[in-house]
Amino acid sequence: MEKKDENISAMSTVAVGEAGRTGDWRDLKPVINHSKCIPTVKNKAACYLCWLYCPEGVIKTGIPVEIDMDYCKGCGICAEECPAKAISMVPEGDNDE
Amino acid sequence: MSKTIIMTGNTAAATAARLCRVQVIAAYPITPQTSVTETLSQYVESGELPAQYVRVESEHSAMTVCISASTVGARAFTSTSSHGLLYMHEQLHWAAGSRLPIVMCCVNRGVGAPWSIFNDQQDSIAQRDTGWIQLYCRNNQEIIDTVIQAYRIAEEVYAPVMVCYDGFVLSHTMMPVAVPQADMVDSYLSPYRPHTILSPDNVRNINPVMFAVLRKNSAGVLCDGYMEMRYKLQEALEKAREVIVEAGRKYSELTGRDYREMLWSYQDKDAEIILTGMGSIASEATVAVDMLREAGIKAGVVGIRVYRPFPRAEVQKALGKAKAIIVLEKDISYGYEGALCSDIKAALYGTAINAPLHNIVAGLGGRDVKASEICEAVKKSLAEMKGQESRFKTHWLNCRQ
């Protein structure tokens, strides 16, 4: 049987995806050019300014850097902050990754 | 046994809040409410009432403190009037939308501009659509009894209750009041249980932004959206009628005072002319009815105790045999008629009741409403109602036009 929402006033819990797939809101998507991205280029944990500035916390520090596109709202702050200009904002629907 | 003490309406309200063992009081002074919360602050200061008394800088904050207190499980109380109530308007919606059983006294006062500190019911009527249950009192005994019942109703329905009574006419007038014993009130009111227990183990975000569409949460449950939450509140208030009647029935059993109906009546059994209204004006109408009966007019009063939820079926029943209906009220919905008048007409729509109905707007800004004036106004309306064009009309009583 389908679970029912028994709350009589609106509430949410602290959990990933509680507010739905907020990546749906995105108009522009960030595309990383890994040949410019510092951790990939240096092959070590470095920079990660995109991770630091991301207001949604959807960027994973790794080699290579990954963005969780289910929840990235496409604000473009990562692209703005990237010192290597490795991230570009591309209109949603363009398949040029 | 209860003790009978001569007291003002405001003392009755404060005494009721003390007997309900309210745990948080937040209030800002405003005439004619001030002595309610002044009296409560004395109870807190003397230790008679072990509650947190939060002094705030505005009524908006007073209601916000009550909302926070009620959210975490405290029985919260406040009291205000007129501009103070209007200043709370936004928070009234928050309290109802959050389904918090806050009880507030609204000591009815006119609304500016121009300034008036005196009584009418424009203030609470202006808050009609905030999702609060509204109860109206006709004397000081009803004030103490209604506040006590209000907590039982609020905490069962999970909706806030506004207990409305007329400024000065009741708030500052002394009457004998039977004060219920504390243990009776304790047995009548169960401890308040919030609908959601907040704890660090179960972290909740209360009232997040809701979108127009339904959403699945992280557990995969399709959660109610904004519109569903509105529907749940509407449903709760519709069902509140049963809770109000049951709370009144139980209270009547314990005290011997009659609160079994959402309406009260006077001389209505054989009445052909029914006067109706809320609060002290309906009480005054009972004296007018005595005068009308002396003049050979079979009149009676049906008083509205519960305004929201509106007692539709009860009104239909009470007015069923009326040959003429007079709605007395101390408010006006500008550009139309009195709010109560519209509601009563709406309740009668589609029934076999098609009696002529006059609306008498009276006593705005504290203008005195004498029983003899109501009596004369009713006679005038009855004479007018014979003409087809004058079956429905709004009169302004004792107002230079």
What pLDDT score was predicted for residue B198? 85
Q: A10 with B94: CB under 8 angstroms?
A: no
CA distance A89 to chain B (A): 26
What pLDDT score was predicted for residue A2? 72
Can you tell me the distance from the alpha carbon of B37 to that of B25, in angstroms, rounded to the nearest whole number? Answer: 8
SS3 label, residue B176: strand
CA distance A51 to chain B (A): 23
Q: Angle formed by the axes of helices B280-294 and B371-385, to 10°?
A: 70
Question: ipTM > 0.85?
Answer: no
Each domain of chain A, given as residue ranges in start order, spans: 22-91
Are the beta carbons of A2 and B196 separated by less than 8 Å?
A: no
DSSP A19-31: T--GGGG-SEEEE
Q: B146 with B401: CB under 8 angstroms?
A: no
Can you tell me the distance from the alpha carbon of B104 to that of B386, in angstroms, rounded to the nearest whole number? Answer: 44
List, in order, residues 6 or more apart from B117 with CB less than 8 Å away: B31, B32, B82, B109, B110, B167, B366
Nearest alpha-carbon partner for B9 in B138, B197, B191: B138
Are the beta carbons of B217 and A4 separated by less than 8 Å?
A: no
Query: pLDDT of chain B along its 401 residues, tens only?
Result: 689 999 999 999 999 999 999 999 999 999 999 999 999 999 999 999 999 999 999 999 999 999 999 999 999 999 999 999 999 999 999 999 999 999 999 999 999 999 999 999 999 999 999 999 999 999 999 999 999 999 999 999 999 999 999 999 999 999 999 999 999 999 999 999 999 988 888 888 899 988 888 888 888 889 999 999 999 999 999 999 999 999 999 999 999 999 999 999 999 999 999 999 999 999 999 999 999 999 999 999 999 999 999 999 999 999 999 999 999 999 999 999 999 999 999 999 999 999 999 999 999 999 999 999 999 999 999 999 988 789 999 999 999 99
What pLDDT score was predicted for residue B1? 64
The radius of gyration of chain B's CA atoms, rounded to the nearest angstrom, is 21
Q: B33 with B81: CB under 8 angstroms?
A: yes
What pLDDT score was predicted for residue A18? 84
**Structural domains present in chain B:** 3-188 (3.40.50.970), 263-396 (3.40.50.920)
Q: Which long-range contacts (CB under 8 A, 24 or more apart) does B331-335 make?
A: B331/B120, B331/B121, B331/B122, B331/B125, B331/B361, B331/B364, B332/B122, B332/B361, B332/B364, B333/B125
pLDDT band at A93 (very low <50, low <70, confident <90, very high): confident
> Which tokens in the block code for residue A51?
């991770």
Strand pairing of B175-179 and B299-304?
A: unpaired
Per-residue H/E/C for B329-351: ECCCCCCCCCHHHHHHHHHHCCC
Are the beta carbons of B196 and A9 separated by less than 8 Å?
A: yes
Q: B-side interface with A, Cβ within 8 Å?
A: 97-99, 158, 195-196, 202-211, 215-224, 226, 228-229, 232, 236
What pLDDT score was predicted for residue B355? 96
Question: Does the CA dihedral B367-B371-B372-B377 come out positive or negative?
Answer: positive
Q: B18 with B49: CB under 8 angstroms?
A: yes
pLDDT digits (tens, 9 = 90+) for B247-261: 999 999 999 999 999
Q: Which of B156, B221, B227, B233 to mutate to test the interface with A (most CBs of A within 10 A)?
A: B221
Number of inter-chain CB pairs under 8 A, A vs B:
68
What pLDDT score was predicted for residue A96? 53
Phi–psi pair at B140, nearest 5 degrees = -70, -30
Are the beta carbons of A15 and B217 separated by less than 8 Å?
A: yes
What pLDDT score was predicted for residue B62? 98
- Contact with chain B for residue A1, Cβ under 8 A: no
Say what the pTM is: 0.92
What pLDDT score was predicted for residue B218? 86
Topology of the domain covering A22-91:
Alpha-Beta Plaits (3.30.70)
SS3 label, residue B150: helix
- Residue A8 has its nearest CB partner, among B195, B209, B219, at B195
> Which stretches does DSSP call E strand in B66-208?
76-80, 103-108, 133-136, 161-166, 175-179, 204-206
pLDDT band at A1 (very low <50, low <70, confident <90, very high): low
DSSP A38-95: HHHHHTSS---HHHHH-TT--EE-SSS-EE-TTT-----HHHHH-TT--EEEEETT--
SS3 label, residue B35: helix
Question: Does the CA dihedral B44-B257-B360-B355 come out positive or negative?
Answer: positive
Q: Which amino acid is at B379?
A: K
- Write down the residue that tokens 């240096």 correspond to: A42
Q: Is the bond preceding residue B29 a cis peptide, omega within 30 degrees?
A: no
- Contact with chain B for residue A13, Cβ under 8 A: yes
List, in order, residues 6 or more apart from B78 with CB less than 8 Å away: B25, B26, B27, B37, B62, B63, B66, B102, B104, B105
Can you tell me the distance from the alpha carbon of B147 to that of B101, in angstroms, rounded to the nearest whole number? Answer: 12
Q: B286 with B257: CB under 8 angstroms?
A: no
pLDDT digits (tens, 9 = 90+) for A9-54: 998 888 888 877 889 889 999 999 999 999 999 999 999 999 999 9
What pLDDT score was predicted for residue B387? 83
